[in-house]
Amino acid sequence: MDILKLNPVSPLVQQVLGANYEVKDASDAPIGAIVRSFDMHEYALPESVIAVARAGAGVNNIPCDKLAEKGVVVFNTPGANANAVNELVLSALLLGSRKIVPAIEWVKTLKGTENIGKQVEKGKKAFVGREILGKKLGVIGLGAIGYKVANSAIALGMEVLGYDPYLSVNNALHLSRAVEITNDIDELYKSCDYITIHVPYTKDNDKMISATKIAEMKEGVVIINCARGELVDNQAILSAIKDGKVGRYVCDFPCEELIGEEGVVLTPHLGASTPEAEDNCAVMAAQELKDYIENGNINNSVNYPRCSSPKTTAHRITICHLNKANMIAQFSGVLGEKHVNIENFINASRGDYAYSILDVNEVSDEIVASLNEIAGVIKVRVI
């Protein structure tokens, strides 16, 4: 079976998939696709593709809703690049505290001049910074990356205040007991010396760091954004830097209005740019594709619900369908009419869409055809 790669990916993908798969740059009938940064919004995805795996967390480059309508499951790899982003955020804390970048640039101007040592001792006062020890860091979002950042900051001697209304039990168990949790994000804005953002971008949180929210923050606050550029109102940040309200803005998403501005430190989207992170993301993406193709299990999808179960019988029927009433009854009705017993059944929903797994001992083309005729069914697959 062919897996279409829309970007170069780690060779570990082929190792994970195994001999029954071939990872290709082009294919007439691939069963799945793996992507990193390639923009798929105007791309004509082959009709044979049943799943797309993004080797990374963000899926802004993928038309997830349109693919859901076609029964194409989109996966991402949350947490696979968490350590790489965590380490970049730690460097951002120091870049936001100490004037390291301008100091480095100034030192370059000394080449070829006399008495460099004296000039250094005289000029270094222009680059005085502050220490992070004992300062308070606000972490917005305590997912796979956020909880690592929080724990690392605790280890560096900072106080940490975390905010995440959707904090999972698993991530909560990983959090240091020294991390304080608040249910009021405004409390975080008002009390923290540093604020770092670790939430996915949605239309609902567009420019969540706005002029109004910045006005609530402490004087000289350092804001770190290694999540998504759209989460912050750039004009509000620039105005706040000029007013002294924001001490520094460290951002991993360069854009025209921020480049070259004083008080702004930009890196070129380096969050997951380590060979370790790229390998981790690629391996996780390949595992998700393989499990879905071979077993029909959905884990870490962004457009269909999490739904997985060990296969217990000779045949498994999987159904992508709309999340509407009476669907399950109709599925069991079709199988009942053919005197087929359902040995195991699992269903889950997410927004407008749902997914069902039915393990049976026998299945026919006639049963598949009848299931496909049910209004609201998008795709039926037999494994």
- 42-80 residue pLDDT tens: 999 999 999 999 998 889 899 999 999 999 999 999 899
Catalytic residue among 257, 337, 366, 373: 257
For position 272, what pLDDT does the model report? 86
Task: Name the architecture of domain 82-97+130-266.
Answer: 3-Layer(aba) Sandwich (3.40)
For position 202, what pLDDT does the model report? 86
The three-state secondary structure class of 118 is helix
For position 57, what pLDDT does the model report? 84
Mean pLDDT of the chain: 96
Tokens of 249: 């803005």
The residue-averaged pLDDT of 197-219 equals: 95
228 is catalytic: yes
For position 58, what pLDDT does the model report? 83
Task: Name the architecture of domain 1-81+273-303.
Answer: 3-Layer(aba) Sandwich (3.40)
pLDDT in tens, 5-31: 999 999 999 999 999 999 999 999 999
Q: Which alpha helices (H) appear in the chain, and where do they start and end? A: 12-17, 64-69, 82-97, 100-108, 116-123, 146-155, 169-174, 185-191, 211-216, 234-243, 275-295, 327-337, 365-372
Q: Do strands 353-360 and 221-225 pair parallel, antiparallel, or not at all (unpaired)?
A: unpaired
257 is catalytic: yes
The whole-model pTM stands at 0.83
Please tell me the distance from the alpha carbon of residue 112 to that of residue 212, in angstroms, as a whole number: 48
Catalytic residue among 69, 98, 261, 269: 269
Fold (topology level) of 305-383: Alpha-Beta Plaits (3.30.70)
174 is catalytic: no
Catalytic residue among 36, 54, 198, 228: 228
Q: Domains of the chain: which residue ranges? A: 1-81+273-303, 82-97+130-266, 305-383
Asked whether the domain spanning 305-383 has the same topology as the one spanning 82-97+130-266, the reply is no
